[in-house]
Amino acid sequence: MIQVTLLSHSPEPMRSLYMAYRTCYSQLTPQQVFERVEDERIPDAEMRRFIEERLKTGHASPLEQISFELAISGVSRAFSHQFVRHRVGISFEQQSQRYVTYKGGRFPYTVPETVRRAGLDARLAALYDQVGELYEEMGAAGVPAEDARFLLPNATNTNFKITVNFQALLHICDLRLCTRAQWEFRKVAALMRAEVLKAVPELGRYLQPKCGEHRLGYCDESEKDWAACPIGRVRPHKDALFRLYDAHRRGELQPLRAEDWAAIEADAPAGEGGAPAAGTS
C-alpha cells in the first residue's frame, strides 16, 4: 500500500515566505522586516494577504526557500523511474536493490487495478513466485544482489525519503495531478498534497493540477487530451481562449441570442422554473 508521510517542513513557512518576498519589495532591510514580524507590527493576517497577492504572480523563486521532507513507501519501480526524472528542487534517497536483498524468494510488488479487473492477477502472482524462486537460487549460487535484481519487474516496490522545495512541489503537482499522468504518480502526488494541506493549508491549496483555479486555470495539453479529460468539462482549453480572444478582436463575438435575453428578462431567477440556469445546456 502506498503511504506518504510529511516528516517535517521549514519552520514557520509563512513567515519565511513573507520574509523572502518582502525583502524584494521593501526599502527596509530584512533584519528590520524581521523585527516588525517578531513584535507583531506586521500581523499574521497582513503577512498572509501579502503572500496571497504574490502567489498570483510569476515571482516564484521565493517559493524555493521553503521545503518539505516526506517519506514515501510501497511505490513501484514503474513509479520511481518517473519520479526521479524531476531534476530541480528535489532530493531523493531510494531503497537500494544492491544493499537490500529479498529473502525467501519473496519480494513486495504492486498489482495495478486494471490487471485485477482483467482477472489476470493470479497469473501475475504465479509468475512473480517463479521470479522470486530464481532470485533466491541466484543468491544461493553467489550471484550478487546487484545482478540478481536484473530479474525483478517494474512492479517491485521501493521506498523514498525526499526533500522538495515548494516551487518544485507545485511543478510536480502541475504535471502529476493532471489526468494525463500515470495513476500511481497521481496517487502519490495527491497524498503529498494531502500531507502539506494538513500541515500548511494556506500553501497546500495551491498544489493542484496545472488547470486548477490557483494555477493556469486552463488546459495546455492537446485538444484531444482535453476533450477526453473529465476535468475538461469545467476547464477551458487554451486554444478555445485564443479563439475567443481573436473573435473578440475581430468584432466577431456571437451576439446574445433571443434565449439569452429571455433568460436575462425572466421573472423567476435563472434555474428556478424560469429561464435555464447559466452554464446548463
Residues that bind ligand FAD (CB under 6 A): 85-88, 168, 171, 175, 180-181
Q: Residue 106 Cβ, how far from ligand FAD at the closest point, in Å?
A: 31
Q: Residue 85 Cβ, how far from ligand FAD at the closest point, in Å?
A: 4
CA-nearest of 206, 208, 216, 213 to 13 is: 206
The total number of residues shown for the chain amounts to: 281
- If you write DSSP's letter for every residue of the chain in order, what string do you get? --EEEEEEE-SSHHHHHHHHHHHHH-SS-HHHHHHHHHTTSS-HHHHHHHHHHHHTSS--GGGGG-EEEEEEEEEEHHHHHHHTT--SSEEEEE--TTT----TT---B---HHHHHTT-HHHHHHHHHHHHHHHHHHHHTT--HHHHGGG--TTBEEEEEEEEEHHHHHHHHHHHSSTTS-HHHHHHHHHHHHHHHHH-HHHHTT---TTSTTTTSSB-S-HHHHHH-GGGGTS-BHHHHHHHHHHHHTT-PPPPPHHHHHHHH-SSPTTTTSSPPTT--
Beta bridge partners of 165: 67
Nearer to ligand FAD, 93 or 137 (CB): 93
Q: Residue 87 Cβ, how far from ligand FAD at the closest point, in Å?
A: 3
Nearer to ligand FAD, 13 or 89 (CB): 89
Nearer to ligand FAD, 89 or 132 (CB): 89
Q: Residue 174 Cβ, how far from ligand FAD at the closest point, in Å?
A: 8
Q: Considering 15, 54, 149, 176, which one is annotated as catalytic?
A: 176
Q: Is 176 a catalytic residue?
A: yes
Q: Residue 197 Cβ, how far from ligand FAD at the closest point, in Å?
A: 21
Q: Residue 267 Cβ, how far from ligand FAD at the closest point, in Å?
A: 49
Beta bridge partners of 162: 70, 92
Nearer to ligand FAD, 171 or 193 (CB): 171
Neighbours of 60 (CB within 10 A): 13
Active site (catalytic) residues: 176
